[in-house]
Structure 1
Amino acid sequence: MSGRFEYLSFRDCDLDDPFFDSLKNDYPEFERWFSHKQSNNDFAYVYREYGTIFAFQYLKNECEEIELQNSSIPNENRVKIGTLKIEEDAKGRRLGEGLLAIALWTWQQAQVNQIYLTVFEHHEMLINVLKKFGFEDVGINLRGEHVFLKDKNRLSHDDPYKMFPYISNGFEHAKYLPIQEDYHDTLFPYSELSRTSQNVLNLSVANGMTKVFIGFPRDPESLDYKRNQPIAIYRITKAQTRKTFLSVVSSFGVVVDYRVVINKRKNIMTEEEYLSFVGNKSYFNREELIRFYRSGRNVIVIKMLYNGYFGAGNNVNHRWLQEKGYFVGHPYETLLEPEAFSEILREGGKNEQDIILD
């Protein structure tokens, strides 16, 4: 499966695969634990390419005391990331963000306050991702692992990553992000449509939750995208008929950063600054990005987080948006009041109180 994680039975994973060797070294009981999961037919999230495992994550609900070396955290209902491993050779595929997003979406759906995992300090890359997404090091357990915990009641509302997958309340307006269907389906691979063929390319951008959108607007300075601003991701169909039913809001996210790269042939960012900012978070390769920069057109970049999706059968079409008065003029220029954004979430089958937090 390209650009997606599979939910596989432990029975479909070979314990003798070299991927699991480091886990066996870190945890002497790992083989016995894994065999027990196979016997129970438990499931985990697995990323494979051509049969080779590159990432593995097991999640569970628990209600246990977390024992630390000098204290303990009282028992309460939590989601625990029981096992999380990414192959060293997977660097650049952005699998860490992808796995963590799945865990955080699971936590959100469980409607509990806390999610946590334990990790040895030599896993520096993983620890950096955890901190970026708002996990706090709350102590060291009896095995010598650091306990990283994220609590819904202690989220940093001024940082979209630390809020993820939630959206901070208090925004003045939300906006649309219009995107052609071919680019949409790779950038947002979980945003499925019913009775519609979708082509998801196997690009690293599909795995991570940070996305970079490249646009060519007439007036970049008038767009007014702001950090922490919610966005409704609007998929524009290529179909020649029934466009008003086939163009849909499929997903939602939050702006991390907005940059004008070129405006009226004036370079606001250098070519290298622009390429570094986009990185591997865009649909386009380096050569295409350079061609855009040198094209003489206006260029903007929007860095965003992919906070959630509605799913097949729940997407909100243009006809409904227009009838509600939520789609007037070009989508770049449309401002959505907070209640309008909440109503779009509800129309997509979401409870906004599970997404937007005070």
Structure 2
Amino acid sequence: MGLEMRAFKDIDLNDPFFDSLKADYKEFPDWFAKKAAGGDDAYIFLSDTGGLDGFLYLKVEDGALNDVVPALPPRPRLKVGTMKINPHGTRLGERFIKKIFDHALAKKVEEIYVTVFEHHSKLINMFAEYGFHALAFKTTANGTEQVLVRNIHAPFKDVTTSYPLVKTGNSTVFQVAIEPKWHTKLFPDSILRNESASIVEDVSHTNSIHKVYLAGMHGMEKLRRGDVILIYRKSDGAAPARYRSVATSVCVMEEYRSLGSFADKASFLAYCRPYSVFTDAELDYLWQVKKYHHVIRFTYNFALKKRVTRGDMIDLAGVSESAYAGFLELTHDQFKKILQLGEADESLVVN
């Protein structure tokens, strides 16, 4: 059923899902009741059978953190108040990480923090993968927790640890066209609507950070880790491409593989399945026909707030009208102009 925002008062505290949180935090039932009475909301993830599989509560703060050692000075922060997932290979933790960053950016908060007990090593490792590091400790009657902190605009280190930052620098920028039928599944924040849209209110269940896509456009073998990808949603045929083909999202390359680099179908499926929109049957077909021989893995960094039409890309950003739109190298100036037209948060793009 997916990820959605729901009021605390409409979430069943007696669900066995919350048992481990009650064990870790003795005051959890009282805290939960207080949030319900105060009208607070949380993100929940529901399984196909309607049971709870994930819970995420976020809160913006601006005071000092005096209950941690060492104390942290006052500044706007996004607190990951509570986060729990039932892991079963669905990348749910990754989806929550993306939602945390989306929320912080929408609220214009520089710093994010979360407290985690050391026995939750998998959770700590997941946060560390995206640049969180232990900056302090918090000790209560429940025990001692690490205080993991991430400054969104910390100096760039790597595609993943500095996510969602995009480093242009010496990287090449490419426009990559995506068929409409795959676009929404891959990029749920990038709905086709030429007006500002709230990222936080979007609660699609497909908000994973890493994506895998197969394509057959000539020249894609040039893609390298760190290259910037501008996602271009092809026209759905409802009107000319000038008005219906749009730039929607900014991504960063992680890895290029040719179809021939996989030893067999099993290794191909294992690589693609966790991050691909394609079903097993579709992947099996793509393996058999060998038509789409470029396999690209990339991070989905952010959606443009306003989708930029092909017409505006040509008229206002200087993109060639005669160039092949399926896979096209863009200049940094063209990319910057498209970001401006798309009302993107340009602080996420660093040199």
1:130 aligned onto 2:127: yes
Distance apart, 1:298 and its partner CA: 5.0
Match of 1:11, SS state, is helix
1:321 to 1:235, Cα distance in 2 relative to 1, 3 A: same
1:79 aligned onto 2:78: yes
The aligned amino acid for 2:309 is: N
Unaligned runs of 5+ in 2: 195-203
Distance apart, 1:285 and its partner CA: 2.6
The aligned amino acid for 2:349 is: I
The aligned amino acid for 1:128 is: N
Match of 1:331, SS state, is coil
Distance apart, 1:287 and its partner CA: 3.5
Q: Distance in 2 between matches of 1:189 and 1:227?
A: 23
Of residues 137, 148, 158 in structure 2, which corresponds to 1:140? 137
Q: Distance in 1 between matches of 2:15 and 2:138?
A: 29
Distance apart, 1:259 and its partner CA: 1.6
TM-score (norm 1): 0.86
**31-40 or 325-334: which moved more?**
325-334
1:127 to 1:244, Cα distance in 2 relative to 1, 3 A: same
1:4-40 Cα distance to aligned partner (Å, 9 max, x none) = x222221221212222121111111111111111111
Match of 1:142, SS state, is strand
Distance apart, 1:180 and its partner CA: 0.5
Q: Distance in 2 between matches of 1:333 and 1:350?
A: 22
1:212 to 1:150, Cα distance in 2 relative to 1, 3 A: same
- The residue number in structure 2 matching 1:259 is 257
Q: Distance in 2 between matches of 1:153 and 1:207?
A: 22
The aligned amino acid for 1:140 is: F
What is the 5 A alignment of 1:281-320? 281-311=275-305, 314-320=306-312
- The residue number in structure 2 matching 1:350 is 344
Q: Distance in 1 between matches of 2:150 and 2:66?
A: 14
1:221-257 Cα distance to aligned partner (Å, 9 max, x none) = 3xx2121222111111232533321111121111111
The aligned amino acid for 1:341 is: F
1:191 to 1:66, Cα distance in 2 relative to 1, 3 A: farther
Q: Distance in 2 between matches of 1:218 and 1:232?
A: 17
Distance apart, 1:112 and its partner CA: 3.5
TM-score (norm 2): 0.87
Unaligned runs of 5+ in 1: 196-203, 262-266
Distance apart, 1:113 and its partner CA: 3.0
1:298 to 1:208, Cα distance in 2 relative to 1, 3 A: closer
What is the 5 A alignment of 1:67-106? 67-68=67-68, 71-88=70-87, 91-106=88-103
Match of 2:248, SS state, is strand
- The residue number in structure 1 matching 2:225 is 227
Distance apart, 1:154 and its partner CA: 3.4
Residue identity (%): 30
Q: Distance in 2 between matches of 1:298 and 1:355?
A: 32
1:32 to 1:205, Cα distance in 2 relative to 1, 3 A: closer
Distance apart, 1:220 and its partner CA: 4.7
- The residue number in structure 1 matching 2:201 is none
Distance apart, 1:127 and its partner CA: 1.7
What is the 5 A alignment of 1:180-329? 180-194=179-193, 206-221=206-221, 224-239=222-237, 241-261=239-259, 267-271=260-264, 272-311=266-305, 314-323=306-315, 324-328=317-321, 329=323
The aligned amino acid for 2:113 is: Y
Q: Is the 8 A contact 1:9 1:44 kept in 2?
A: yes
1:288-333 Cα distance to aligned partner (Å, 9 max, x none) = 323322324351111111111135xx21111111223324522344
Q: Distance in 2 between matches of 1:119 and 1:76?
A: 21
Distance apart, 1:175 and its partner CA: 1.0
Q: Is the 8 A contact 1:250 1:315 kept in 2?
A: yes
Q: Is the 8 A contact 1:117 1:148 kept in 2?
A: yes
1:40 to 1:270, Cα distance in 2 relative to 1, 3 A: same
Q: Distance in 2 between matches of 1:327 and 1:232?
A: 15
- The residue number in structure 2 matching 1:201 is none
Q: Distance in 1 between matches of 2:290 and 2:251?
A: 30
Q: Distance in 2 between matches of 1:67 and 1:85?
A: 23
The aligned amino acid for 2:79 is: K
- The residue number in structure 2 matching 1:37 is 35
Q: Is the 8 A contact 1:79 1:116 kept in 2?
A: yes
Q: Is the 8 A contact 1:134 1:156 kept in 2?
A: no
Q: Is the 8 A contact 2:159 2:166 kept in 1?
A: yes
Q: Is the 8 A contact 1:94 1:205 kept in 2?
A: no
1:20 aligned onto 2:18: yes
1:205 to 1:14, Cα distance in 2 relative to 1, 3 A: closer
The aligned amino acid for 1:335 is: E
- The residue number in structure 2 matching 1:163 is 162
Q: Distance in 2 between matches of 1:180 and 1:245?
A: 16
Match of 1:294, SS state, is helix
TM superposition outliers: structure 1 runs of 4+ over 6 Å? none
Q: Distance in 2 between matches of 1:254 and 1:245?
A: 26
